[in-house]
Amino acid sequence: MNPHAILIPAAGASRRMEGRDKLLEMVDGLPLLRRQARRALDTGAAVLVTVPALDHPRVAALHDLPLRLVPVPDAATGMAASLCRGVACLPPGVRGVAILPADMPDIDAADIATLLARFDAADAALLVQATGGDGTPGHPVIFPADCLPALREVIGDTGGRAVVQANRHRLVRVPLEGARALTDLDTPEAWRAWRDANPGA
C-alpha cells in the first residue's frame, strides 16, 4: 500500500467568484477539480476530496475516479471543517497527508512527488511545505502522522496554519519553480490573469 494520502479540500463556496464555481472552471478540457484530482492520483497516493454534499455538482466532475469523497455539511464554518472531516477519513496506517488546495492549477503530479520524496527522505518525521521560487511559503503542505490529531482539532478558516506554526522547529521548505506553489485562483480577475498567461489551457 502506498503510505501517503492527499487531501483536496473542495467544500468551499467560491464566494468571490461572482456566482461561478472556480473548481468547475475548465482547464485543459477538464473541470479544474477533476484535473487536480487526477494529478493527485497520478502519484499513487490515496486521494480524498471534501465536498459540500454528495449531491453537489462538484461530485459529478469526479465521477469514476478512484478516490474517496468526504461530505462536509459544516463547510460554511471555514477550511478547518474540511481538514477535520477529511483527516478523520484517512486510510489506516498512512505516514503522512499532503493538503493540496484544489484551486492551484500550476501544481502538477511531479511537484507533489518531489514533496513526497523529501518527506520520505526524512523518514516521515518532518513537515514539508512547498514554497515559491523566491522562498515564499505556499502549498501543498505534508503533515506526518503524529500531526493528524492536531489537524482534527483546528477551527475557523486558517486551515492547518496553527499546526505548521506549532511544528516550525521541524518544518522544511521545498522551493518549486516560479510561483507554482503560490498561484491560487479564487476570483474572476485571478482567472483572467492566469488564462492570459496560459493561453490554450
pLDDT digits (tens, 9 = 90+) for 172-184: 999 999 999 999 9
Q: What is the mean pLDDT of residues 157-176?
A: 94
Q: What is the mean pLDDT of residues 81-91?
A: 96
Q: What is the mean pLDDT of residues 142-170?
A: 93
Instruction: Pick the closest to residue 38 from 57, 11, 63 (CA basis).
Output: 63
Q: What is the mean pLDDT of residues 116-141?
A: 97
Give the three-state DSSP class for 27. Answer: strand
pLDDT digits (tens, 9 = 90+) for 119-129: 999 999 999 99
* Structural domain total, the chain: 1
Question: pLDDT band at 81, cuts 50/70/90?
Answer: very high
Query: Using alpha carbons only, what angle is made at residue 184 by residues 180 and 201, rounded to the nearest 5 degrees?
Result: 75
Predicted structure pTM score: 0.96
- pLDDT at residue 193 above 80? yes
Strands 4-9 vs 46-51: parallel, antiparallel or unpaired? parallel
What is the residue range of 26's domain?
A: 4-197
CATH number at residue 154: 3.90.550.10
Question: pLDDT band at 1, cuts 50/70/90?
Answer: low
Residue 164 CB coordination number (10 Å): 18
According to the model, what pLDDT value does residue 93 have?
93
Q: What is the largest CA-CA distance in the chain?
A: 44
According to the model, what pLDDT value does residue 13 have?
83
